[in-house]
Amino acid sequence: VIHWYQQKEGEAPERLLFISGGKVTVESGFQANRYMVERISVQKRCVLTIKDVIPDDAATYYCAYWDPHLIGYYNKVFGSGTKLIVSEKKSSQPANSEILQKRHENQIMYVCLIEKFYPEVIRLTWNDEEKEVTDNVVKGDTWQSTKEDEYSIASWLTVPAENKDKKYYCKYEHEEKTDSLPTKVDSMKTAPQEEDCRTIFNRGNLMYHLMHRTAYLVYIILLLKSSMYYLTALFFIYR
């Protein structure tokens, strides 16, 4: 049995439908004629198709199934999810992509910067010449550029200095373009590296402080509103 869930921004996942024995059952609240599910057992695939997409369909969709391998227990296993964005704007590939590097003592930090793309959904991974690299990798969140409809993202890879001759690749997958950037190329920036890296880190720090500043202000506003309600209630009680 394969389940499909819909999760809208800021809400809990809601089961959309499930397919069992070739029969599709759509949950109440959803229009059954808009969803089609095809299960291909030989390829181990299950495809969900949404017809006549509307803005309300914007969400992240997850497939899931019950895993019976643990004796006496069933765990529901979810896929990584597919984010659907409904927009009149045409998607655009990254306008700029580059790898910067900075050496500090016995380590080398590579910064992969992908800029000005739309929509914001993008997959970014690091690889060496054999496999994907996951250790000492930090992936930042996407942020909006100067324009509201442009996004950027950065990822950091830290390796030992003795690996300076080893080639690494920053691979990004966007619906408009997929590319792989090597860490050792003639055009790699050298002189302004430190300044560029600081710029990227400063962007991240600025976003971090802005988020916390906003949260602090919201907290103060809520506290003031609560105090006003409290004083108003006291006024009417003692009056």
19 and 45 housed in the same domain: yes
The pLDDT of residue 218 is above 80: no
Among residues 63, 84, 105, which one ends one of the domains?
84
51 found inside a domain: yes
Domain total in the chain: 2
Is the alpha carbon torsion for 215, 150, 180, 84 positive or negative?
Answer: positive
- Assess whether 31 and 104 both reside in one domain: no
- 54 occurs within a structural domain: yes
pLDDT at 22 over 50: yes
Please state, for a pLDDT cut of 70, what percent of the chain lies above it: 76
* 216 in a structural domain: no
CATH number of the domain to which 153 belongs: 2.60.40.10
Q: What CA–CA distances, in Å, run from 167 to 94, 104, 128, 182? A: 23, 18, 6, 7
Task: Tell whether 199 is covered by a domain.
Answer: no
Whole-prediction pTM value? 0.62
Mean pLDDT to the nearest integer, 200-204: 52
Asked, for residue 59, whether it belongs to a domain, the answer is yes
**Length, in residues, of the chain:** 239
The HSE-up count of residue 204 (CA atoms within 13 Å, CB side) is 16
**121 and 57 together in one domain:** no
Domain shared by 174 and 103, yes or no: yes
Q: What is the pLDDT of residue 137?
A: 92
> Is residue 79, in this structure, part of any structural domain at all?
yes
Q: Return the exposure string of 133-159: e unless at least 16 CB atoms fall within 10 Å of the residue's CB, then b.
A: beeebeebebeeeeeeebbbbbbbbeb
| DSSP sequence for 62-79 | EEEEEE--STT--EEEE-
Residues 8 and 79 in one domain: yes
Task: Tell me, yes or no, whether 80 and 100 share the same domain.
Answer: no
**Domain-embedded: residue 207:** no
> Which structural domain range is residue 26 located in?
2-84
**Tens-place pLDDT, residues 47-71:** 999 999 999 999 999 999 988 776 6
231 part of a folded domain: no
Q: Please give the residue that has the higher pLDDT: either 204 or 113.
A: 113
Final residue in a domain of this structure, among 182, 213, 228: 182
* Strand-strand pairing, 123-127 and 107-117: unpaired
Instruction: Examine the domain organization and report whether 45 and 12 are in the same domain.
Output: yes
Structure tokens at 218: 């919201």
- Top pLDDT among 18 and 44 is at 18
- Could you give the CA distance from residue 15 to residue 182 in angstroms, rounded to a whole number? 42
